[in-house]
Chain A
């Protein structure tokens, strides 16, 4: 469904991605693993058009996203949960969700569905997003992206700094979305968290792809992970 073909991208003069190729199918979780600075977040930003893609193509069902305006990309049903959540902190929970709903003109049906997944948010609709706890903020960031009714979901370190019960909740949501046929691209630091839900794992180093491996193989042989990550 989503296919990156040899993309290069970076910030200003500095090229960070030197040719990344990936493919995520519907109903699949592809996880990006790599050390800090390997280009995982940059890959996500390049897909969203937040930084210019200077070479290669980002194909969604054959359409090259690298050639359309950044604000048109989410309308193709791509939901993005950025690193550090990036909520609109001064807006209320309800307003944050409204921003998500407006992307593709969804209404109260979608809103109710999303709130059913995160009942805690329903109690806090009028509260300012910045005053939520860390776990609730992650729920809201996820809910906001789900308001798009995404076919592709990009999650950048969704469990960073969360307590175990919250990690389990986020994980359940991700697995549920996979069952719904969403193509999921996940960046995650914690290897055990990755192995338990990923279908395939793509290793990235210095802005280049290394191997993409079935998660099952990694689960069977942990030493593979150590070899790829060099730890």
Chain B
């Protein structure tokens, strides 16, 4: 295969990575932006989404599309509910103290991971793609499902953007992010907003996982990479900036895909991590972040 088509294939792979990464990272960014909580358990919510998707799909039976559609609905709801309960039982009681919530979410990471190991087991299990049509370019065939992943991610991100900018709940979230105390003085139930935001962040990670699980398989240790990459993306994009997060996700996802195809996935991670180091040295507020006053 010539260089041109090879690059095209690599870009497609990169776009799929970028789409899933953008969803996961926006969840992390939202939680940090509104609640100032660094959620180390975010990758486990991703994993939980994939495992719930496998569960739902294997119990649904019938055409794989039915199981997948149900998973797309149920996995984010279940994961979001788990996160909201964790917020209520743990984070709220720590008063959202930045340092203590880091330790608490590390604990949450192990609790979720080990609970899944004990119930779901150590196997990696696939979820069948809802459809399996291949599209044939002159040089190679490519799964249309991967195009669906990209399209679905774009649609969900558009939905998040509309939620944040066009709805009352979005307004309430932004107000809480800007000034928690004044939000309280204007009757915004900050506790409830926090629980919903934490749930929403986890649900976005779960949605990303449902989309990727027909390509990648569900496994109890699959949360590590998305967590690392999400942190990389959120730091490069600027903490708390959703637009920056998406741009950085496209940047990191595309380069990860392309470098993985041409060289090796390890080199891709090395370069992404190096990029974070450079950003932290030369532009600590991130590409799109505002400098703290």
A: which residues have CB within 8 A of B? 48-50, 69-75, 80, 82, 86, 88-91, 95, 98-100, 102-104, 144, 148
Contacts and interface: CB of A to CB of B under 8 A. Distances in A.
Contacts of B185: 48, 50, 70, 73-74, 80, 82
Is the contact region of chain B dominated by helix, strand, or loop, or is it mixed? helix
A69 B191 CA distance: 11
Contact of B171 (A48, A50, A98, A104): A98
B114 interface: no
A99 B175 contact: yes
A90 B174 contact: yes
Contacts, number: 61
A221 to B, nearest CB: 37
Interface of B: 168, 171-172, 174-175, 178-179, 181-190
Given A50-B184, A74-B185, A88 B179 contact: yes
Contact of A91 (B175, B181, B188, B189): B175
Most buried by A among B175, B182, B183: B182
Contacts of B168: 98, 102
A71 B172 CA distance: 13
Given A91-B171, A95-B171, A102-B168, A71 B187 contact: yes
Nearest to B193: A71
Most buried by A among B186, B189, B190: B186
Given A50-B181, A82-B182, A102-B168, A88 B187 contact: no
Contacts of B187: 71-75, 102-104
A99 B171 contact: yes
Contacts of B182: 82, 86, 88
Given A74-B186, A91-B175, 10 more contacts: A71-B184, A71-B189, A72-B187, A73-B185, A82-B185, A88-B178, A90-B174, A90-B178, A91-B174, A99-B175
Contacts of A91: 171, 174-175, 178
B100 to A, nearest CB: 15
Contacts of A70: 184-185
Nearest to B174: A91
A100 B187 CA distance: 9
Nearest to A71: B189
A86 B171 contact: no
A99 B184 CA distance: 11
Most buried by B among A82, A90, A91, A99: A99
A148 B179 CA distance: 18
A5 B132 CA distance: 72
A82 B184 CA distance: 12
Contacts of A104: 187
Most buried by B among A69, A70, A82, A91: A70
24 contacts: A50-B181, A70-B184, A71-B188, A71-B189, A72-B187, A74-B186, A74-B187, A75-B187, A82-B185, A86-B181, A88-B179, A89-B178, A90-B178, A91-B174, A91-B175, A91-B178, A95-B171, A95-B175, A98-B168, A99-B175, A100-B186, A102-B172, A104-B187, A144-B186
Contacts of A74: 185-187
Nearest to B189: A71
A138 to B, nearest CB: 15
Contacts of A82: 182, 185
A52 to B, nearest CB: 12
A69 B189 CA distance: 9
Given A88-B175, A90-B174, A99-B175, A71 B190 contact: yes
Nearest to A86: B182
A157 to B, nearest CB: 15
Contacts of B171: 91, 95, 98-99
A73 B186 CA distance: 9
B179 A86 contact: yes
B181 A88 contact: no
A80 to B, nearest CB: 5
A102 B184 CA distance: 12
Given A71-B189, A71-B190, A102-B168, A88 B174 contact: yes
B174 A103 contact: no
A69 to B, nearest CB: 8
Most buried by B among A70, A71, A95: A71
A102 B179 CA distance: 17
A104 B188 CA distance: 11
A72 B183 CA distance: 12
